């Protein structure tokens, strides 16, 4: 006999602002074993106390905004799967398994409930028409088969966190769909019943709320997704990670370089982007994931090649360039700083390396002239590299990314592998370290790109 797998843990996020009239019915219909997280967004009708008395986890989010409440619930969640649901009684929590089913089966990554009104009063005509137009634009932009930007939805928590959602107002549901599509997530719909809500909507129920929602969503739609650029060498023995030899053999150094490049590309494949471009010295191999364009590097020194890489950015979109030496990079490190709401007023992004260099450079409005001005003549692969680049960035509004360690020597390799033990680089390092019979050696410094 086969033992069935344990049921997946599920948290249900319920953004709440004065919903005491509907809360008992909603909480009573949460599927058995699932946790309700009621995010109180400033209620004055006792919603928080009522929810707590009924066994729900209550999170207080003082910053007003639908997105602020939803994201606070996402951060508070700890389950494998997270569902979102209005707690105004318009949607039945008992239907949530329809949405989690495709996620658990692996056929979809984000599932939205397509609302089917049970009466004309459930969904006012003006709101239905606006939703239909928004869905049409989403289909055209993302290719996802969507007919409704429904508030009932389900996805894996880690995938949602990796999107780095930045909107905290009415644009949050739209940003989630756009970012999911740009991150390669498979989006699907399932029909759900839509009932008249309890009380008046805080968004479509008032003129002010409707105007604010329209402004928020227009801002999200107007923001172009970024271009992600990776500059790298083909991982061939004797051409990459030469500062690892000795103690590594050229073949071991190449294996580590391939693993680092593979981890970097796969991580960036989950960051929302309009284009992903590998600027490569050499030819692609099995390590190249789908969805990446490959272009050759320009001739010249590393400073010139870095500057030339920005020519491949999509017109009108920001661009971020990273190398192949930081396989510990996570999607969240980049997704949120590059999100539409977080990049307002930012001119550039700078990721410092612990050896004095840099691992990332982003430009909000990249041009060939700006890239040359910033990078041409910067001394590369030394402890002054980052300081010189930062001096050239003066006068621009720069957002600093977390400092990371480049993999230059074997001590770096051991440190980086420990930060992401489940990655391909860590697996490759364990194999190499075992063959070497040691996990540390004198530093050698430098960088490979």
Q: What is the pLDDT of residue 374?
A: 97
- In tens, the pLDDT along 341-376 reads 888 899 999 999 999 999 999 999 999 999 999 999
Domains and CATH numbers, the chain: 10-222 (3.90.550.10), 227-436 (3.90.550.10)
Q: What is the pLDDT of residue 197?
A: 78
Taking residue 209's Cβ as centre, other Cβ atoms within 10 Å add up to 16
Rounded average pLDDT over 261-272: 96
Per-residue pLDDT band at 109 (split at 50, 70, 90)? very high
Secondary structure of the chain: what % helix, strand, coil (to 5)?
40, 20, 45
The alpha-carbon radius of gyration of the chain (Å, integer) is 24
Q: What is the pLDDT of residue 3?
A: 52
Region of 42 please: left (phi>0), alpha (psi -120 to 50) or beta.
left
Q: What is the pLDDT of residue 446?
A: 42
Cα(334)–Cα(332) distance, rounded to whole angstroms? 5
Rounded average pLDDT over 246-251: 94
Q: What is the pLDDT of residue 220?
A: 82
Cα(286)–Cα(187) distance, rounded to whole angstroms? 27
Per-residue pLDDT band at 38 (split at 50, 70, 90)? very high
Q: How far is CA 321 from CA 33, 256, 305, 309, 403, in A?
A: 44, 21, 11, 8, 15
> Residue 210 pLDDT > 70, yes or no?
no
> Residue 438 pLDDT > 80, yes or no?
no
- In tens, the pLDDT along 373-421 reads 999 999 998 999 999 999 999 999 999 999 999 999 999 999 999 999 9
Per-residue pLDDT band at 325 (split at 50, 70, 90)? very high
> Residue 2 pLDDT > 70, yes or no?
no
> Residue 216 pLDDT > 80, yes or no?
no
Cα(324)–Cα(263) distance, rounded to whole angstroms? 9
> Residue 207 pLDDT > 90, yes or no?
no
- In tens, the pLDDT along 159-173 reads 999 999 998 988 899
- Residue-averaged pLDDT of the chain: 91
Cα(236)–Cα(242) distance, rounded to whole angstroms? 10
Q: Is 136 helix (H, G, I), strand (E, B) or coil?
A: helix
Per-residue pLDDT band at 6 (split at 50, 70, 90)? low
- The dihedral over CA atoms of 383, 420, 163, 408, expressed in degrees to the nearest 10, equals 20
Q: What is the pLDDT of residue 445?
A: 41
Cα(361)–Cα(319) distance, rounded to whole angstroms? 8
Task: Name the pairing type of β-strands 358-363 and 319-322.
Answer: antiparallel
Q: What is the pLDDT of residue 127?
A: 80
What percent of the chain shows pLDDT beyond 70?
92
Cα(169)–Cα(215) distance, rounded to whole angstroms? 10
Q: What is the pLDDT of residue 221?
A: 81
298: nearest Cα among 279, 313, 283, 284: 279
Per-residue pLDDT band at 201 (split at 50, 70, 90)? low
Q: What is the pLDDT of residue 389?
A: 97
> Residue 4 pLDDT > 80, yes or no?
no
C-alpha distance across the termini of the chain, in Å: 53
Cα(57)–Cα(53) distance, rounded to whole angstroms? 10
Q: What is the pLDDT of residue 7?
A: 62
SS (H, E, C) 349-386: EEEEECCCCEEEEEECCCCHHHHHHHHCCCCCCCCCHH
Rounded average pLDDT over 2-18: 80
Per-residue pLDDT band at 51 (split at 50, 70, 90)? very high
Residue with the bigger pLDDT between 144 and 36: it is: 36
Cα(241)–Cα(234) distance, rounded to whole angstroms? 11
> Residue 208 pLDDT > 80, yes or no?
no
Among the residue ranges 126-135, 379-388, 435-444, the one predicted with the least confidence is 435-444
Q: What is the pLDDT of residue 203?
A: 54
What strands, in cross-sheet order, belong to the sheet with 348-352?
293-296, 275-281, 227-233, 319-322, 358-363, 348-352, 398-400
> Residue 286 pLDDT > 70, yes or no?
yes
> Residue 148 pLDDT > 60, yes or no?
yes
Per-residue pLDDT band at 439 (split at 50, 70, 90)? very low
Cα(336)–Cα(349) distance, rounded to whole angstroms? 12
Cα(299)–Cα(115) distance, rounded to whole angstroms? 55
């Amino acid at each position: 006999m086969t033992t069935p797998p344990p049921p997946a843990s599920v948290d249900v996020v319920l953004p709440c602002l004065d919903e005491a009239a509907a809360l008992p019915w909603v909480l009573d219909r949460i599927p058995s074993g699932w946790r309700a997280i009621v995010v109180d967004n400033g209620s004055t009708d006792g919603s928080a106390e009522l929810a707590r008395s009924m066994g729900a986890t209550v999170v207080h989010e003082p910053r007003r905004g639908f997105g602020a409440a939803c994201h606070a619930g996402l951060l508070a969640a700890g389950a494998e799967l997270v569902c979102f649901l209005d707690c105004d009684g318009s949607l039945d929590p008992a239907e949530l398994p329809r949405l989690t089913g495709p996620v658990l089966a692996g056929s979809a990554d984000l599932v939205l409930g397509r609302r089917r009104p049970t009466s004309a009063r459930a969904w006012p005509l003006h709101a239905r028409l606006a939703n239909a137009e928004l869905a049409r634009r989403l289909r055209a932009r993302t290719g996802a088969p969507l007919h409704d930007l429904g508030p009932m939805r389900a996805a894996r928590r880690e995938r949602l966190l990796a999107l780095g959602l930045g909107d905290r107002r009415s644009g949050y549901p739209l940003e989630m769909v756009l970012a999911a599509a740009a991150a390669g997530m498979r989006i699907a719909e399932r029909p759900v019943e839509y009932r008249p809500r309890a009380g008046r909507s805080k968004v479509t129920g008032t003129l002010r709320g409707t105007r604010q929602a329209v402004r928020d969503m227009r801002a999200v739609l107007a923001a172009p997704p970024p271009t992600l650029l990776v500059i790298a060498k083909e991982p061939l023995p004797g051409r990459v990670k030469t500062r690892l030899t000795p103690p590594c053999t050229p073949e071991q150094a190449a294996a580590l370089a391939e693993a680092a490049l593979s981890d970097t590309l796969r991580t960036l494949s989950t960051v929302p982007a309009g284009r992903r471009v590998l600027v490569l010295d050499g030819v692609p191999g099995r390590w190249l994931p789908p969805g990446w364009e490959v272009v050759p590097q320009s001739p010249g020194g590393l400073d010139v090649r870095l500057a030339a890489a920005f020519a491949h950015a999509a017109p009108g979109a920001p661009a971020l360039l990273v190398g192949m030496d930081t396989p510990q990079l996570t999607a969240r490190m980049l997704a949120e700083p590059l999100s539409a709401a977080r990049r307002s007023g930012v001119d550039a992004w700078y990721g410092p390396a612990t050896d004095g260099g840099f691992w990332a450079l982003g430009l909000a409005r990249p041009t060939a002239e700006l890239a040359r001005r910033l990078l041409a003549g910067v001394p590369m692969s030394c402890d002054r590299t980052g300081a010189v680049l930062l001096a050239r960035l003066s006068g621009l509004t720069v957002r600093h990314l977390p400092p990371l360690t480049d993999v230059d020597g074997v001590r770096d390799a051991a440190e980086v592998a420990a930060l992401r033990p489940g990655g391909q680089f860590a697996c490759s390092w364990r194999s190499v370290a075992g063959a070497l019979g040691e996990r540390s050696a004198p530093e050698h410094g430098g960088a490979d790109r």
